[in-house]
Structure formats: C-alpha cells, structure tokens
Structure 1
Amino acid sequence: MIKYTIKYLTAFLFFSTLATAQLSDLARVDFTYIPKGNSNVSYNRVRALFNYPIKLKKERTYLFLGLDYSHIDFKMEKNFSFDKNELDDFQILDLNIGFITSLKNDWRIGLRITPGFSSNLTANDLQLDDIVFSGDLVFIKDKTKDENVSKPYRLILGVSYSENRGYNFPLPYISYYRKFHPNWSYNLGVPKTNFQYHLSEKNRFKLYAELDGFSSNLQKGILVDGTNVSKSINMSLILGGLEYEYHFTKNILLYARSSYIISNTVHLRDKNRNNIIALDDANSYYFRTGFRLKI
C-alpha cells in the first residue's frame, strides 16, 4: 500500500510542477548534474525552452507558442545482462501551445496542450511510440501585486494530464502562496512547498522540496535477462534543498540549487509500463543552475 501511495504521489507532484513552470516561464536555460557518488548512475541534463506570447483582442488574454528541448546524458557504472550503451543518450522535445485569459472576480484560466516526443533515437528516426502528449488546465487568482491587499497571495487550482512520465490519468493541482512579511513568503500545497527569504530586491533564498526525473521510449527495446523486453526507462527523484536567486529585473533571474535526493528510483519498463528491473535507488546530491525569463 505504501509503495503505491508513493508512486501516485510522485506522479502527482511531478506533473503539477511541470504545468506551473510551463505556464509561467517565457524562456529558460538550465543545466542539471547528478554525480555518481555511491550510486550506479550519473546524470547530466541540458534544457532550453521558450514560450512566445501573442496578445489577443480580449484584455489580458494571450496565446503562447513555444518549444521545450532537453538532452540527457545518462551513464551507469554497473554491468547488467544487456547493452547499457543503449541508455547513454536521450532527446526530449515538446511543442507548447498555451492560452491564458481573465474570468470574473479576478480569476484567470490557463490551458496548455503539449504534443512531443521522448526517445533514445537509436533507430535514427522517430517512431509512433516516441510520441507523447501532455495537457494542463489551471485557475489562478493572483493578488501578489494588488496594493489593496495587506498580505499578497496567489491561489492556483487545476488538473494536469501527461503521457510523458508514464501515468495516464488526470491529476489535481493546488497551490497557495502568501507573502506575510516584506522579507518572508511561503508556498503551501501539492506539488511543492517552499519557504522563501527575500534578502533584498535582487537576492532571495528558498528552502524547498520538489521532484525531477524523466521517462523515455527505447526504440529498439532492450532484452533483459534473456526473457523480458524493456520498451522504456523511467527515473523519478524527490529532492529537498536550498535555492539562491539573483534577480537582474522583476522578470529575469539567475538561480542555483543544491539538493539532496531523498528518494531515487530508476527502472526499465515493459510495453505496459510495468517495472522490469531497477537500475538505481541510491541517494545522492543534485545540482542545477540556470537563467529564467518569467511572466
């Protein structure tokens, strides 16, 4: 029971984090590094995304078009019964189509539809199994810039669906943010909780917990132990750590994170997305740095 509870909670957290980031970032470039340490796996990821806003006729209404690309370098030290070179390199590309508009009583609605592919591309061309689809629907009430509110807050409610992480059912999203002091704020809910110290207009520190990971199609399949054929790989991480942000402007920032991996699961899966073999479950450190241009 505990195993399945953690599994579904992990999926819930990941998709919701993804939905929020995609709707708020106009552009982002970052680099993630997980050293091997005591584990079997080392991991490097370079990610770049942009969303181009198109203002529509209705006030405060925008259409967003964009791309989200990741290159993942995945290395294993341990030898298995299969060719681990098939797992060295992964490519992920998503097409973002987003829409945001105003509703009554200061509410806004955001919708994102994201077709794309995730694959190791060992067949040198795309296949039907490489194609993935994601979608998000959120309702936002943002009072963070309302001068009539003594303690600014933001409430987000919504639902997220994705085929890109191996869970084919809708998942809810709840987030409540409040700045209760000129130098302090918090964000409570699921998928993430953080506690933030605003040192100055340009410098901020966060204690946070969140998820990261990826899943990808294996085009040629991998024969495991001579009996099972793996068709995909899935990596899920639960992180906790410290983040530093330097804000060049209100919308452009540099960030750096140092985290500890609280939970780490890496599996090869069959065509029905059932786990075949565990590749790694050791805890390690996690580092990420990058630039963001946000709404």
Structure 2
Amino acid sequence: MKKVSIFLMLVMVSWVYGQEMDDVYIQSEFLPSSNVTDIYRLQAGADIPMINTTTEKFTVGGKLQNTTLSYIDEDVPFETGEIETFNSFSLRFTYQRNLRNDWSIYAMQESQISSNFRDDNIASDDLFFNAMLTLSKYNGRDNSVLTFGAAYDIKYGLYYPIPVITYARRLNDNWAYKVGVPDSRVKYTLAENHDFEGFATLSGFTGNINDEVEVYKEDYSGTLRQTSVLLGLGYNVHLWEKLTATAQGGYTAYNRMQIQDYSNNEIYDFDMSNSFYFNVGVKYTFTNKTNDREVY
C-alpha cells in the first residue's frame, strides 16, 4: 500500500509541475527485443526557472519515469517477476552563467530514487546522485559552440563518469549539426515549423533491486543496468511558438543489460541483441534568456 501511495504522490507532483511550469515534457520510448525482453519507458519532467536573466539562469525541477520490461521467459533462466517494473523520481538543480570572452558554464546536480520497490521501504541503495559540469566557448566567426566537461548520470546505465565533448555549428538557416559524445545530431529545417533530425546518442536506465533476486538458485542484491547506443531519424513539428511534438525511430548499434552487484561486478548478462527503437513526445520550452548564442 505504501508503494502505491508513493507512486500516486509522484503522479500528482508531475501533474502539478505540468500545470504551473513553462518547461515541461513527456515522452514514451519503446525498444522491442526478439530474444530477451521488450523495454517500455514513460518519462515526464519539468524545470522551474527561479532566475532567468541575460547573465545567468537557475532552475529547480525533476522527473518521473516508469520502466516496464516484458520478458520472454524461455530465454531468461530464472524468475523475472521481481525485475519487471522500475520507477524513479528525482529532484534536480541546474545553473548556467555567461562568462567573459564568450565563455559560459553549466552545472547540474540531481538526487534520484530508482528502484523496483519490491520492499515497502525506500532503502539507501535506491538513492543515486547525478551531476554534470561543462564549459562552452562561442565562436562568432563560424557561428559555432565548443563544449567540454564530464557527466555522471544513471540514465546512461553506467556506473562511471563519461566525457562530454561536442562541437555544434549553424551552417545556414536550414542546416545545423552537433558532433561529439554522448550525443551527435544533424538537423535540417524544412519549413518554419518543421525539421528533420538524424542522431546518434547514448541512452539507458539504472534501477536498484531492493529485494534479493534469485539467479541460478542463488540470491543476489544489486542493480539492473541497461545501456543502448541509438541511431535514428526524428521529425519535429512546432505546434505553437514553444510547443514541439517529436517522433523518432531507429536502431540500436549497441544494446546491453546486466544485473550487477553493488561492487559493479556482473551477476547476469542478458545478452540482448540489437533492436528497433521508437520514441514519441511533446515538450513546451521556456525561453532561455542566458543562452542567446544557441547555434543548434
């Protein structure tokens, strides 16, 4: 009953955010797999702009995510009932500031609870901390932005920090691109309210298994981690000035899911094959007065 109460509270919080804030999104993601499990993810998030000037921006927000896995039982040699549904919610702070000589800094800190919630209590292992710190340099000669830094975020399904290095450039009114890690994109604007976007990006999820799961008749505690490298094409339509609907489809160039212990050692590898990928969503974007040199 306590788990149901927590989930309902999160849904209500997400709804309040959607009603009161100017930066809110909801998206649905589906990764079908022919050999192990289908993965369905529903995510909603929002950010409250507390400060938004031409010099700096500070936001407070969060997100709610449900991940459901539909296993093909004959391909998983143990009972999967305890690791079929994971829920997560978070509280996030971001800060962006323009510096001298066309430099800017961006920082993010997020506290997140992600778990299968098989136990009635929230355990300490259900709590994760995400962070990002980047520096960006704008070049007016070729209308480009170079960004570098580092990120640690369980949304990638990894237990270690990754580098953030991107180079974005606006070629003309129709074409723009961004190349780097963990995200590369190229965008073609077909008309004022329509654009197509090719992408290669890192995705995934992490959830704590807060009750023991039996693998090969032995009980284990740990986390479920899933990581994908997505290649695809998206279509964006701007319904109003700040409201955008998106549809994406593609294929996973890399797909891995493991149960790991708390020392990040592999307990079981699901040996997932690559699969198709589908994503639809809608987002209302708040005007960022600080980022007046956005090129992508």
In which range does the TM-score fall when normalised by the shorter chain?
Answer: 0.7 to 0.9
Give ranges in structure 1 of 5+ residues lacking alignment: 1-24, 144-148
Poorly superposed stretches of 4+, deviation over 6 Å: none
Q: Give 2:226's aligned residue.
A: 235
1:122-141 equivalences under 5 Å are 122-141=118-137
1:106-185 equivalences under 5 Å are 106-142=102-138, 149=140, 151-162=142-153, 167-185=158-176
Structure 1 residue 231, shift from structure 2 partner: 1.5
Asked if 1 retains the 8 angstrom alpha-carbon contact of 2:107 and 2:134, the reply is yes
Identify the match of residue 55 of structure 1 among 43, 46, 51. Answer: 51
Asked if 2 retains the 8 angstrom alpha-carbon contact of 1:203 and 1:245, the reply is yes
Asked if 1 retains the 8 angstrom alpha-carbon contact of 2:155 and 2:203, the reply is no
SS of 1:43's equivalent in the other structure is strand
The more displaced of 103-112 and 125-134 is 103-112
Identify the match of residue 260 of structure 1 among 230, 241, 251. Answer: 251
TM-score (norm 1): 0.82
Asked if 2 retains the 8 angstrom alpha-carbon contact of 1:157 and 1:174, the reply is yes
Q: CA RMSD in A?
A: 2.1
Please state if 1:198 is matched with 2:193: no
Identify the match of residue 27 of structure 2 among 30, 36, 39. Answer: 30
Structure 1 residue 283, shift from structure 2 partner: 1.6
TM-score (norm 2): 0.82
1:76-91 equivalences under 5 Å are 76-79=71-74, 80-91=76-87
Q: Distance in 2 between matches of 1:142 and 1:211?
A: 25
Identify the match of residue 244 of structure 1 among 225, 235, 253. Answer: 235
Distance 1:167 1:256, change over 3 A: closer
Q: Distance in 1 between matches of 2:249 and 2:24?
A: 22
Identify the match of residue 69 of structure 1 among 58, 64, 70. Answer: 64
Aligned residues: 264
Q: Distance in 1 between matches of 2:236 and 2:54?
A: 32
Q: Distance in 2 between matches of 1:31 and 1:288?
A: 6
Q: Distance in 2 between matches of 1:164 and 1:246?
A: 26
Q: Give 1:291's aligned residue.
A: 282
1:2-39 deviation line (CA, Å, top 9, x unaligned): xxxxxxxxxxxxxxxxxxxxxxx932110011234x22
Distance 1:161 1:211, change over 3 A: closer
